[in-house]
């Protein structure tokens, strides 16, 4: 087995736990910060200052960056230094967690320190989040490492976590399999996805601290502070929701659909419909497809002198890919006592009626008008004969 295939198998079987509180916290971050968290959870420890430290080795970094050669330094520099490409870094991952019942709100920078040395990256996380990262006993969601790494959009990553968390919670409560429906206010969803940054304006933070935030006011404050990206629903739908749906459906175990929630003509929220794919069934179907291709290759080697590939496929389908029946029919045709005018028709008829079980070389029964005549029940033939004679 090739090394790349072995690596894929190893990753495919790995998962990680993430606190639901951390998943559902409002805030912003990058796709890379989310992926690094997922990979880092495979090698974590708590240092003397009670901070979680995640160690990410060069081999895992290369998989994430899809880099097979060259130095990793430039990739890490881009992760850590905002001046390199004037974009967000892993240190911009910030979250806001609200506890309405106890009147408490917390805002944290998630990654506090990073060190890259000898091809290994070490990330230190805020010690206020330690109990939300390690030793999780409840209120967490198990996520697939392979699925997380496969996603490109930060919005896909956020919704992947949020919808998985919501799905698992609903399943635990109802004791029933999906699909389930989950609703988000439009502004609330933008806050969850990091499109509107809760820490970007003090007024937004103050509004969110209320028991019942005014999301219309938050939208106005976001626009006032320059956070007016995807202001119109049609743009948000086209550039975020449609792309997220496509990516989640094609790359993860989630099957997602959605529809707008309207108040009159205005879209005020999004309703997601989520179910889990039957991965075992899909793998079996995929395996069956692979097996069919192998069978066709085998049959083509056997029958290429008499049939084109398209005809071989047609014969295989007629036999439900039963190689033994096809081989017996092909041998019967080759030993047939006279010339076969239409080989593909002969093969399909032979497979259907199993003529190969007859004496070798014996012709299949010919169809004629007499043999094909079916006597009708209850017919008075003496009366019919009398009428014919009278005419």
Instruction: With CA atoms as reference, report the closest residue to 154 among 54, 87, 56.
Output: 87
| Range in 58-67, 139-148, 314-323 with the lowest mean pLDDT | 58-67
Instruction: Using only the alpha carbons of the chain, give its radius of gyration.
Output: 33
Q: Would you call 15 exposed, middle or buried from its count of C-beta atoms within 10 A (0-12, 13-18, 19+)?
A: middle
* pLDDT at residue 226, as a whole number: 77
Using N-to-C axis directions, what is the helix angle for 309-318 and 343-353, rounded to 10°? Answer: 20
* pLDDT at residue 285, as a whole number: 58
Residue 368 has pLDDT above 70, yes or no: no
- Going from the C-alpha of 156 to that of each of 35, 193, 234, 245, 318, the distances in angstroms are 12, 9, 18, 8, 43
- Going from the C-alpha of 310 to that of each of 250, 268, 305, 307, 329, the distances in angstroms are 29, 53, 13, 8, 18
Each residue of 279-305: pLDDT tens digit? 555 555 555 666 788 889 889 999 998
- The answer to whether 254 and 276 are in contact (CB under 8 A) is yes
Each residue of 105-121: pLDDT tens digit? 778 889 999 999 998 99
List the beta bridge partners of residue 54. Answer: 44, 123
Domain 1-149 class in CATH:
mainly alpha
What average pLDDT does range 146-151 have in this prediction?
90
* pLDDT at residue 197, as a whole number: 77
Q: What is the pTM of this model?
A: 0.65
Q: What are the structure tokens assigned to 60, written together?
A: 């895992």
Distance (Å, whole) CA 229 – CA 219: 11
How confident is residue 30, by pLDDT bands cut at 50, 70 and 90? confident
Distance (Å, whole) CA 130 – CA 351: 67
Segment (H or E) for 248: helix 242-251
Instruction: With CA atoms as reference, report the closest residue to 185 among 93, 100, 263.
Output: 263
Residue 372 has pLDDT above 50, yes or no: no
How confident is residue 54, by pLDDT bands cut at 50, 70 and 90? very high
- The answer to whether 355 and 364 are in contact (CB under 8 A) is yes
* pLDDT at residue 377, as a whole number: 45
* pLDDT at residue 55, as a whole number: 92
* pLDDT at residue 383, as a whole number: 58
Domain 151-195+230-277 class in CATH:
mainly alpha
Residue linked to tokens 């910030």: 94
Residue 2 has pLDDT above 50, yes or no: no
* pLDDT at residue 181, as a whole number: 95
Task: Return mean pLDDT, the chain.
Answer: 82
Positive/negative CA dihedral, 147, 151, 155, 157: positive
Please give the angle made by the CA atoms of 159, 161 and 164, to the nearest 5 degrees.
100
* pLDDT at residue 274, as a whole number: 94
Distance (Å, whole) CA 129 – CA 112: 11
* pLDDT at residue 195, as a whole number: 87
How confident is residue 1, by pLDDT bands cut at 50, 70 and 90? very low
Each residue of 228-263: pLDDT tens digit? 788 889 999 999 999 999 999 999 999 999 999 999
Q: Where in the chain is the domain with CATH 1.10.10.10?
A: 1-149, 151-195+230-277
Segment (H or E) for 279: helix 279-303
Q: What are the structure tokens assigned to 16, written together?
A: 């990680």
| Range in 298-312, 329-343, 369-383 with the lowest mean pLDDT | 369-383
Segment (H or E) for 260: strand 254-263
């Amino acid at each position: 087995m090739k090394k790349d295939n072995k690596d894929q198998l190893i990753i495919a079987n790995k998962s990680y736990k993430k606190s639901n509180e951390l998943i559902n916290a409002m805030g912003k971050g990058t796709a890379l910060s989310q992926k690094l968290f997922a990979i880092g959870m495979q090698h974590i420890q708590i240092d003397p200052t009670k901070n979680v430290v995640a160690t990410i080795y060069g081999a895992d970094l290369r998989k994430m960056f899809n880099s097979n050669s060259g130095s990793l330094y430039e990739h890490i520099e881009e992760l850590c230094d905002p001046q390199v490409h004037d974009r967000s870094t892993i240190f911009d991952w910030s979250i806001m967690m609200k506890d309405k019942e106890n009147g408490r709100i917390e805002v944290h920078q998630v990654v506090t320190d990073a060190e890259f040395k000898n091809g290994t990256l070490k990330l230190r996380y805020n010690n206020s989040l330690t109990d939300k990262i390690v030793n999780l006993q409840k209120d967490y969601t198990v996520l697939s490492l392979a699925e997380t790494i496969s996603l490109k959009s930060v919005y896909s990553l956020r919704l992947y976590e949020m919808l998985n968390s919501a799905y698992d919670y609903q399943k635990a409560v109802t004791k029933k399999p999906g699909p389930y429906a989950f609703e988000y206010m439009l502004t609330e969803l933008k806050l969850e996805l990091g499109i509107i940054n809760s820490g970007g304006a003090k007024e937004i933070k103050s509004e969110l601290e209320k028991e019942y935030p005014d999301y219309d006011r938050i939208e106005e404050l976001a626009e006032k502070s320059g956070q007016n990206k995807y202001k119109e629903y049609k743009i948000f739908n086209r550039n975020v929701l449609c792309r997220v749906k496509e990516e989640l459906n094609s790359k993860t175990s989630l099957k997602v659909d959605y529809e707008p929630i309207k108040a009159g003509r205005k879209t005020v929220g999004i309703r997601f419909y989520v179910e889990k794919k039957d991965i075992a069934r899909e793998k079996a179907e995929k395996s069956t497809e692979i097996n069919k291709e192998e069978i066709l290759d085998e049959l083509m080697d056997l029958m290429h002198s008499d049939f084109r590939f398209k005809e071989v496929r047609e014969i295989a389908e007629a036999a439900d890919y039963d190689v033994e029946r096809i081989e017996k029919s092909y041998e019967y045709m080759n030993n047939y006592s006279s010339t076969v005018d239409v080989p593909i028709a002969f093969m399909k008829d032979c497979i259907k009626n199993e003529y190969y079980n007859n004496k070798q070389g014996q012709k299949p029964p010919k169809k004629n008008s007499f043999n094909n005549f079916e006597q009708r029940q209850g017919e008075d033939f003496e009366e019919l004969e009398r009428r014919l004679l009278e005419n």
